[in-house]
Structure 1
């Protein structure tokens, strides 16, 4: 028996689940997820912080559009999904160009002296800091509450989530997309490709031109701070050239080498050598040694050439909708992008500026 919907979404991460939540009140929606739970890959391994100035101009516009929803997530959660953190950027002499480029066009960044930077993150080596700035309004995101809130909204409106249902075959016939999975066959006139690192593989199965998506590994480790130091309220601190960053996490530090190593789509794990090099760079900037790693992991951040998400109908395949290439910005832009998906699919005007919608259109890549 074939199950028929108005919209068929492949991928149950934050992108696909958010899109389902916004489409389901007006249409029949089915989400196919290859794992046994939602958000198993990139969503569940996010650094979970909202940074208004993170990304290029298009992404910053999406960040701004998402912030009101994260602060007041009506229907998603009873309280804000954000909590205070702050993001501090520091630069050595060799990183001053990258520091200036980050601040160019940034909103709400406060330049700091080296002394002020150390006062906020007391383990920093003052002598290595040539420049510093902070976005005090950067905030932690409760990713699980966002994902589960979207899922509840979608289910309440009638959306169906089918787990352990990887796409094995995708066909287009009679104005319908048909996806065959171990859980059965599913059809809809519109297929939304929200498969994360696997999005180009899904396009290949569907006979649709790929967008050149490159999954990149990002590793992280939990390391303890020195005994007797409470880091709970310290800001995230990052090197201006993205050589490392450290974020307080449950009284410890989540440290990442900020790696972006191209890999094939897979259930990612940290590379020991890459992680060791990143932890070494972190040690050069702080006064604490890394005495042990309590645990480590990795996730995949997927980009196209211009590092801007791909959102819209494919120019070469009727009813095939791209929702991919979010890179490391997928969680914090999910509120804006999920709304945009529904607006485009349901032929409603978008609240986003036309130039932002155009910058996301898959046609730009062809």
Structure 2
């Protein structure tokens, strides 16, 4: 069968785009693994945090909030969010850094609640004395990532999209009607090839004979810890202004912790390094007075960034039948609804949906790299 669109990658990016497109186009979804969402999607820290990714990503996160909080009736699910809250911390003498962070979002209309030490103690008990100031974002929420991903896959299937797993792309060549595709699952053809391959985005471009953009995968480590005392389940997402750590309650009596590492990596099945785990624990011990008793779980995932750290949505400047939908870093989950609407609008030529009508999609276009 010949398809209007073939999407390489069935993680959150590919699944959400397939769901948006399938009402108007025939869609083929190709997944290299035995199940969708095995890599970045399945290893997310699972939160919606409006300032995550910076001021140029914030419009995507803000636009996605209503879909995640109150999904359309067609989705058949309740809210994918649960309250968490977030605090960005700084030490004594670092107020200027915190102020600069707040100022960077002023044009986006964001305001923050400033917390002194007594305010920090109310939200995050057990901080060491030198952590004296914070910015609180009460709207931060946990995301049911698996729920969102499965909802998009179900929607795509209901609308007629066809998913093939174990279908790694091995060849993409131009034919009379677009692309002739060879995969480990068989042969297919499509008019437009969409690159939603995450860490493998540049590799997919190379297979198709398209110039890579320079999307680089970075390893990110997360560990689950137990302590000498229960950790409050209401503990907010807590972040260092210098980007040295973040942690939040795991929903039980423990903690999810990351050293906020970004180690360049080949596209692979990422695994945590013992050194990164040790660094994470050491950094945490300089923040809180809790005593670590056990590392109960550890994992790593890949976050992929374009050179300017913004996502890439749009047709390749040199090949109008090759569409980039990649470079979504660690914010691809919380921006998925808006990103999928942008991608669908560009691919179908339809007017932008109300969710994204105030977003300048051109800032995310591949043309910016030429």
> Which TM bucket (shorter chain)?
over 0.9
CA 1:354–1:179 in 2, change beyond 3 Å: closer, same or farther? farther
Matched, 1:181 2:190: no
Residue number in structure 2 paired with 1:131: 133
Q: What are the within-5 Å matches in structure 2 for residues 215-230 of structure 1? A: 215-227=217-229, 229-230=230-231
User: How far apart, in 2, do the equivalents of 1:103 and 1:77 lie?
Assistant: 37
Equivalent pair of 1:99/1:241 in contact (CA under 8 Å): no
Name which of 54, 58, 65 aligns with 1:60: 58
Equivalent pair of 1:34/1:165 in contact (CA under 8 Å): yes
User: How far apart, in 2, do the equivalents of 1:308 and 1:334 lie?
Assistant: 14
CA 1:49–1:108 in 2, change beyond 3 Å: closer, same or farther? farther
Equivalent pair of 1:93/1:130 in contact (CA under 8 Å): yes
Residue number in structure 1 paired with 2:247: 246
Equivalent pair of 2:227/2:294 in contact (CA under 8 Å): no
Name which of 12, 15, 18 aligns with 1:17: 15
**Shift of the alpha carbon at 1:250?**
2.6
- Please provide the CA RMSD for this pair: 1.4
**SS of the residue 1:212 aligns to:** coil
Equivalent pair of 2:7/2:196 in contact (CA under 8 Å): yes
Residue number in structure 2 paired with 1:118: 121
Residue number in structure 1 paired with 2:284: 282
Alignment coverage as a number of residue pairs: 362
Equivalent pair of 1:31/1:161 in contact (CA under 8 Å): yes
Render the CA deviation track for 1:326-361: whole Å, top value 9, x for unaligned.
001000000001111111111012243576211100
Unaligned runs of 5+ in 1: none
Matched, 1:88 2:90: no
Residue number in structure 2 paired with 1:365: 369
CA 1:139–1:324 in 2, change beyond 3 Å: closer, same or farther? same
Render the CA deviation track for 1:167-212: whole Å, top value 9, x for unaligned.
0111112241122012111111111100000000000000101111
Structure 2 length normalisation: TM-score? 0.95
CA 1:355–1:86 in 2, change beyond 3 Å: closer, same or farther? closer
**Shift of the alpha carbon at 1:304?**
1.1
CA 1:114–1:363 in 2, change beyond 3 Å: closer, same or farther? same
**Shift of the alpha carbon at 1:289?**
2.1
Render the CA deviation track for 1:265-314: whole Å, top value 9, x for unaligned.
10001111022112111110000122221110000011111110000000
**SS of the residue 2:301 aligns to:** strand
Structure 1 length normalisation: TM-score? 0.96
User: How far apart, in 1, do the equivalents of 2:122 and 2:251 lie?
Assistant: 21
**Shift of the alpha carbon at 1:224?**
1.1
